[in-house]
Amino acid sequence: MSHPALTAGAVAVVTGSAGGIGLAAATRFAELGLKLCLADRDASRLASAEDAVKAAAPGADVFSRVTDVSRAEDIEALEAVVRARFGGTDVLMNNAGIQPGSSMFGPSENWHSVLDVNLWGVVNGSRIFAPHMIARGRPGLIINTGSKQGITTPPGDPAYNVSKAGVKAFTEALQHELRNTPGAQISAHLLIPGFVFTELTRNGRIEKPTGAWTPQQTVDFMLESLARGDFYILCPDNDVPRALDERRILWAAGDIVENRPPLSRWHGGYDDAFADFAKRRS
């Protein structure tokens, strides 16, 4: 069984689809018979991605549009172009994301670029597309790509964590709004990938690390989760099973409840306590 929006003839838009999870999702949507628009800001890679999707799904109705999701006017134009060509959108995957690296007191440009793409791209995409999707009167999906770093917020890249924590909070609010909107047949979902070998995580490596999943594995898990109706699509990988993810998430929430120092997992005084907590998996 699949989600009712993921049927032949439905229309999907995927941002950040020039590679990685976005390209894998676009390919699977095309293979399922969906009409498709790929969006990314890198024109050369986007053209190659369009060719790859058409090769994987011969006969698929696919086109691409260069789009900078940090610019609301670009997203408005994207929605209008898709509506003019296909009549509207049924599946929106706000997947575009960057990770140039940040530090608390480092360059402000890094903070602005990460928040503009990772957070505002999702906010703008959802707010611009959703009203048209609701008016379409068909089953639909909005899938926003978050991160475990937006939940457990490990030290090392605060701008990225803030952006993905914002995506989580926004998508929760979006789903609440959609389910309380009369006539809306659209649902929102938060994709939370594990360690996935993509351009974003490559770090100069050529071969996939054994602990990482491929983008295709992640998308297959996403489709299975959507068929079940899951909102939180918490993906495992080859290193971290769901049970350990659950303990890490619970420990992070416990920092507040137990009044521990923030990010206590990385606070030297709590090493043994967390190790013991992680072992007691339910």
The 10s digit of each residue's pLDDT in 227-250 is 999 999 999 999 999 999 999 999
**191: which DSSP letter?**
E
Question: pLDDT-based confidence at 202, cuts 50/70/90?
Answer: low
**Residue 63 near residue 85, CB atoms below 8 Å:** yes
pLDDT in tens, 115-144: 999 999 999 999 999 999 999 999 999 999
Give the pLDDT mean for 4-25: 97
Closest C-alpha to 5, from 132, 127, 142:
142
pTM of the model: 0.95
Three-class SS of residue 94? strand
CA distance linking residue 97 with residue 108, whole number of Å: 18
Which is higher by pLDDT, 98 or 100? 98
- Asked whether residue 203 carries a pLDDT value surpassing 90, the answer given is no
State the pLDDT at residue 100.
Answer: 81
pLDDT in tens, 26-73: 999 999 999 999 999 999 999 999 999 999 999 999 999 999 999 999
Sequence-distant (6+) residues with CB within 8 A of 187 are 140, 141, 142, 175, 178, 179, 229, 231
Least confident span in 159-163, 189-193, 200-204: 200-204
- Asked whether residue 10 carries a pLDDT value surpassing 90, the answer given is yes
Tokens of 105: 């007191």
Q: Which of 29, 111, 120, 160 is catalytic?
A: 160
Q: Tell the burial category of 30 from Cβ atoms under 10 Å away from its Cβ (0-12, 13-18, 19+).
A: buried
Instruction: Count CA atoms within 13 Å of residue 94 on its CB side.
Output: 33
Three-class SS of residue 142? strand
Q: What is the residue type of 255?
A: D
CATH number, domain 11-239, options 3.40.1190.20, 3.40.50.2300, 3.20.20.70, 3.40.50.720: 3.40.50.720
| Rounded to 5°, angle at Cα 229 from 279 and 197 | 60
Tokens of 257: 């409840």
Instruction: Let me know how long the chain is.
Output: 282
State the pLDDT at residue 204.
Answer: 66
- Tell me the CA end-to-end span of the chain in Å, nearest whole number: 29
Give the pLDDT mean for 174-200: 94
State the pLDDT at residue 99.
Answer: 87
Active site residue 160: yes
Tokens of 226: 């959507």
CA distance linking residue 203 with residue 206, whole number of Å: 9
State the pLDDT at residue 2.
Answer: 83
All structural domains of the chain with their residue ranges: 11-239, 241-282
How far is residue 163 from each of residues 59, 111, 173, 204, 266, measured CA to CA in Å?
A: 37, 9, 15, 24, 21
